[in-house]
Structure 1
Amino acid sequence: MSFELELAAASAAPAGYSPAIAPHPTQTSYDHVVLPGDFPDPTIMKVGDTYWASATTAEWGAVYPIFSSKNLLDWELVSHVFPDKHPAWASSNFWAPEFYQENGRFYVYYTARKKGGMLCVAVASADHPAGPYHDHGPLVGQEAGSIDGFAMPDEHGDLYLIWKEDGNSCHQDTPIWAQRLNDERTALVGEATELFGNDVRWEGPLVEGSALVRHNDWFYMFYAGNSCCGKGCNYATGVARSRALLGPWEKYEQNPILIGNDTWKCPGHGTVTELDGRWFLLHHAYFAQSHEFVGRQGLLSEFTWNAQEWPEFVNRSPQAAPLTDLARLHIAEEFEGNELGPAWQWPLGQQPTSRVHEGQLHLTAKPSRLGALVARRTHVATYKAATTLDFAALPADTFAGLAAVGDPYNALALMAGNGQLQIWHVKSGKQQCLQHVFIEPCATLTLRLEVWGGQRYRFAYSTDGATWQPLPTESFTLNGTYLPPWDQGVRVALVAQGAEDTTAVFNNFIIRNQR
């Protein structure tokens, strides 16, 4: 199939990004992948008839996506907590946002690393769930680090922050703490109380990701234990309960209550919600066939309460079916409007200058590393991606192209410039050119990336959109197993490297998912 036909087919699907799979008919099962792609540590809250969700963004901007839904299954990306610049006090590790609402005010308690210092739990607030949010800065930052903040009123109505001391970062235990919040909900007051720690074998080196709910006069804390991320992860979900928020807490003797299966690996770190008297945990898990190459995806898993008033999941594992209608997750971007849509990302603190004009993306170059880049999450580990570059307009000594990116220090890219094409291999910040070919002058140049299983990569190019020249050769592919960081999936990016007064022009961008 030619690139024009591929692009036309992709354009038949809705333009831009929507993580929803499809409108669902009336059905009994709510167990679904509702946030496909790299959306770890999801949070959820209900306001009126609308559900709101967010998730970890780690080292990518914009920080903390905000989704809305009326039915828990079909979600729309509407904004971000920090859509442009992230808070000035923080440098990285934007993890685990948690919503809280009170008296028409909305709060996001989140984790970030203080510049030159430790991980902290901080808070931002807004008058509407979609924002804009005003940051109030850190609430707590212990020497070992403090992460995974969750706000919960106690049995007297006093609001407390629950968080994890990140002791596993320095080979120590990981107690879960609680401390009262002030009336403005922007600072801690009084003394901290330790609730419990990792003292059961399945929990391994840590307990974290606390999410609390009250049911029949019990406080229930859903929490995660063991190793969260990567191919060797063994994450699982447990639950504890108490009559009083500050304890004593009793862990369920049947823990863990949610473990992996043949389809979904390492389920954990979720938030509880309710619909029509039914109970759900929105949590993350790796799809077994794509694992770390796509990242931890947002799943909805239903649970019930047993006779002993403990939560139970069917078969103690996620029942969500694998994604099947992959065509609805194709990305077809023809750069309509006057700015990039909210699904585009960039490396944290490196938001590029870009402009959308007359169906083209104008991306201002940067000289460092890969250069300036804008990226999209992937949904599967086998796919094709392509873009058409206005090659004739590319300034001298400026390179532009298409890349598979784990982070700015780890990437594989096909870059055009100075009358040639180059394959760039970037690993641990070290860049080398694996292959280059000279090409005749042409108006436009189409670049294509093919990926199999997240591990094998091959590029191709076309000067007419129909005849393809593979790079490297047909019999050879590049190894991309090194690309994903320990806690993130691979993205596909448009890249421009060169002097900061130069611009690369892209005509389109597609990703077509395959099994």
Structure 2
Amino acid sequence: MLVNYCNPIISGFHPDPSICRVGDDYYLVTSSFEYFPGVPLFHSKDLVNWQQIGHVLTRTSQLNLRKAGSSGGIYAPTIRHHDGLFYMTTTNVSGGGNFYVYTDDPWGEWSDPVYVDQPGIDPDLFFDEDGTVYYTTSNDTIGQGAYQSRIDVQTGERLSDISLVWKGSGGQFPEAPHLYRIGEWYYLMISEGGTEYGHMVTVARSRRPDGPYEGCPHNPILSHRSLLKPVHATGHADLVQAADGSWWAVFLGIRPVGYPMHHHLGRETFIAPVSWTEEGWPVIGDHGTVGEAMPAGRLPLQPQPELPVRDDFDNPVLAPCWTFLRTPDHENWSLTDKSGSLTLYGSPVTLNEADTPAFIGRRQQHFAGRFAAQLSFVPQQNGEEAGLTVFMNERFHYEIAVTRTAGERKLIFRRKLGTLWKIENEMPWFSDTVVLTVTADKSHYVFGFAEEGKEQVVFGKGECGLLSTEVAGGFTGVFIAMYATGNGVHALAPAHFDWFDYEAYE
């Protein structure tokens, strides 16, 4: 009996996947950009069902996002295992450049950064059989293509000059290099065309790790350019060999909706089988295309238990799904100030600034769902505000919130779309507690509220497409977040979120 698996394997804003296998265990990382902690880390036993076990960059000594603009911060990571250690290398484009961290236990803490004096982005670490370590980046500052040096992995010091090893097949933005030794060949796989609708994966090979490289005559080996498919922008791939000897590729893709097409969940992680031609070239999926349902082959599928809908904030630490917007200020939040609640203290920073507001959110990973939180909040001074936001970036977001204006407490629904900003609905509010809700489908968000023991009231509506990458720009995806602000001053009143629900409908 043939068994299929479903793509994406990690939904929502989880782009630029990289993967490694250690025995029967698989580990995968993705980009995180301006969100903290950095580099989500996943574990799987079967390549299809994944559990987030944490993040790689969890300390401010590893990651400073204070000056990160929207879609700045942490770009594409690579994860590798060598001689008992896990390595993750990435770029902080907002400060510090290329670095790697390491650990002997991926479930625990990772080291402080080791920086590499090599420009570019999307770094790759390759450990050759003779002990030589190659560091490869894509570098538009020098010239488009994959650039490489040898490094001392103990110190990060370069042991050679940086040299161009392959320009790619001719597409724009040759990026995301990954180097492998398979048999007698060294394979260099990159992405071209930009991480958009023209995205594609190409590959070259050489008898030497430093080239010269010969491009595959069948390039691109993965692309959905100009195809009528539910998945687009496929690219940024990484190869892994399963325990049974089969080969697989993880890669990013998007699932746009509507016409003209737009996507708001962000770039997601997909997987496809890899076959090999008689000449020894890799072929991803069905001659370079993939579907939402794909044959699992001999993979020993082990579905993960579903995560609970409700987070009661009873644990001493936040669940791995929760993230902050840039490096958090610890005085802005607490899990202990009110037992069984997440407490936010509004700072002067608002959601309209490329800064660090009191904001704790999670990625929207499903088109259809209901997201809700119970908020206890009594604003003490004008401008204090707390609620739920559907957030793409500081220029594009929607809110339902409790605030205080001209001495009066109000419930508001607001939309910010570029330079357009409007409170579209408001009403006096007298209760100290409210349940705020966001219900989503592929086209709209519906915002509502409910008093204790009463029916939900619809209070506002916003289009998903106006928070899409095609409108709002950038490389991220939509977050559903709890937030608080003093709108220019420090808020006096704490905002207590007693629980948060994430209920998927698909």
TM-score (norm: length of structure 1): 0.83
Choose the corresponding residue for 1:335, options 294, 303, 313: 313
Paired residue for 2:334? 354
Q: Does residue 222 of the first structure (1) align with residue 199 of the second (2)?
A: no
Structure 2, unpaired ranges of 5+: 295-302, 352-356
Q: Where do 1:284-299 residues align within 5 Å?
A: 284-289=252-257, 292-299=263-270
Q: Where do 1:79-90 residues align within 5 Å?
A: 79-85=54-60, 87=62
Q: 1:79 to 1:113 in 2, by over 3 A?
A: same
Cα distance in structure 2, aligned partners of 1:84 and 1:348: 12
Residue 157 of structure 1 and its aligned partner are, at CA, apart by: 3.6
Which deviations, in whole Å up to 9, do the C-alpha atoms of 1:33-65 show, x marking residues without a partner?
A: 221211101111122332111100011111011
Structure 1, unpaired ranges of 5+: 1-25
Choose the corresponding residue for 1:151, options 125, 129, 133: 125
Cα distance in structure 1, aligned partners of 2:150 and 2:93: 22
Q: Does residue 44 of the first structure (1) align with residue 13 of the second (2)?
A: no
Residue 378 of structure 1 and its aligned partner are, at CA, apart by: 0.9
Q: Does residue 493 of the first structure (1) align with residue 478 of the second (2)?
A: no
Choose the corresponding residue for 1:512, options 492, 497, 503: 503
Counterpart contact for 1:395–1:503, Cα < 8 Å: no
Counterpart contact for 1:329–1:513, Cα < 8 Å: no
Counterpart contact for 2:414–2:421, Cα < 8 Å: yes
Q: Where do 1:289-438 residues align within 5 Å?
A: 289=257, 292-312=263-283, 313-321=285-293, 328=306, 331-351=309-329, 352-355=332-335, 357-370=338-351, 371-391=357-377, 393-397=378-382, 398-418=384-404, 419-428=409-418, 432-438=422-428
Counterpart contact for 1:30–1:302, Cα < 8 Å: no
Paired residue for 1:21? none
Counterpart contact for 1:208–1:225, Cα < 8 Å: yes
For 1:121, the aligned partner's letter is N
Residue 86 of structure 1 and its aligned partner are, at CA, apart by: 5.9
Residue 381 of structure 1 and its aligned partner are, at CA, apart by: 2.8
Q: 1:248 to 1:277 in 2, by over 3 A?
A: same
Q: 1:450 to 1:89 in 2, by over 3 A?
A: closer
Greater displacement, 334-343 / 216-225: 334-343
Counterpart contact for 1:41–1:283, Cα < 8 Å: yes
Cα distance in structure 2, aligned partners of 1:152 and 1:448: 47
Cα distance in structure 2, aligned partners of 1:478 and 1:436: 19
Paired residue for 1:69? 44
Residue 303 of structure 1 and its aligned partner are, at CA, apart by: 0.8
Residue 483 of structure 1 and its aligned partner are, at CA, apart by: 5.5
Residue 513 of structure 1 and its aligned partner are, at CA, apart by: 2.8
Taking only the aligned residue pairs, the percentage that are identical comes to 22
Q: Where do 1:106-255 residues align within 5 Å?
A: 106-115=86-95, 120-142=97-119, 146-154=120-128, 156-167=130-141, 173-184=143-154, 186-200=156-170, 203=171, 205-229=172-196, 233-255=197-219
Paired residue for 2:300? none
Cα distance in structure 2, aligned partners of 1:483 and 1:354: 31
Counterpart contact for 1:214–1:220, Cα < 8 Å: yes
Give 3-state SS (helix, strand or coil) of 1:34's partner.
coil
Q: CA RMSD in A?
A: 2.8
Residue 244 of structure 1 and its aligned partner are, at CA, apart by: 0.8
Residue 478 of structure 1 and its aligned partner are, at CA, apart by: 5.4
Cα distance in structure 1, aligned partners of 2:140 and 2:32: 19
Cα distance in structure 2, aligned partners of 1:343 and 1:251: 40
Give 3-state SS (helix, strand or coil) of 1:234's partner.
coil
Cα distance in structure 2, aligned partners of 1:431 and 1:141: 42
Counterpart contact for 1:86–1:349, Cα < 8 Å: no
Counterpart contact for 1:136–1:186, Cα < 8 Å: no
Choose the corresponding residue for 1:469, options 457, 461, 478: 457
Residue 435 of structure 1 and its aligned partner are, at CA, apart by: 2.8
Counterpart contact for 2:391–2:479, Cα < 8 Å: yes
Counterpart contact for 1:258–1:316, Cα < 8 Å: yes
Paired residue for 1:12? none
Which deviations, in whole Å up to 9, do the C-alpha atoms of 1:212-242 show, x marking residues without a partner?
A: 222221111221110204xxx2111111111
Residue 28 of structure 1 and its aligned partner are, at CA, apart by: 5.4
Paired residue for 1:11? none
Q: Does residue 280 of the first structure (1) align with residue 248 of the second (2)?
A: yes
Paired residue for 2:221? 257
Counterpart contact for 1:369–1:409, Cα < 8 Å: no
For 1:437, the aligned partner's letter is M
Counterpart contact for 2:57–2:63, Cα < 8 Å: no
Q: 1:511 to 1:183 in 2, by over 3 A?
A: closer
Paired residue for 2:238? 271
Which deviations, in whole Å up to 9, do the C-alpha atoms of 1:351-407 show, x marking residues without a partner?
A: 54221554322122212113411111111233332111124x554443111110012
Counterpart contact for 1:457–1:480, Cα < 8 Å: no
Cα distance in structure 2, aligned partners of 1:358 and 1:226: 51
Counterpart contact for 1:236–1:267, Cα < 8 Å: yes
Cα distance in structure 1, aligned partners of 2:255 and 2:342: 33
Cα distance in structure 1, aligned partners of 2:458 and 2:211: 63
Residue 162 of structure 1 and its aligned partner are, at CA, apart by: 1.0
Cα distance in structure 1, aligned partners of 2:157 and 2:271: 32
Between Structure 1 and Structure 2, how many residues are aligned? Answer: 466
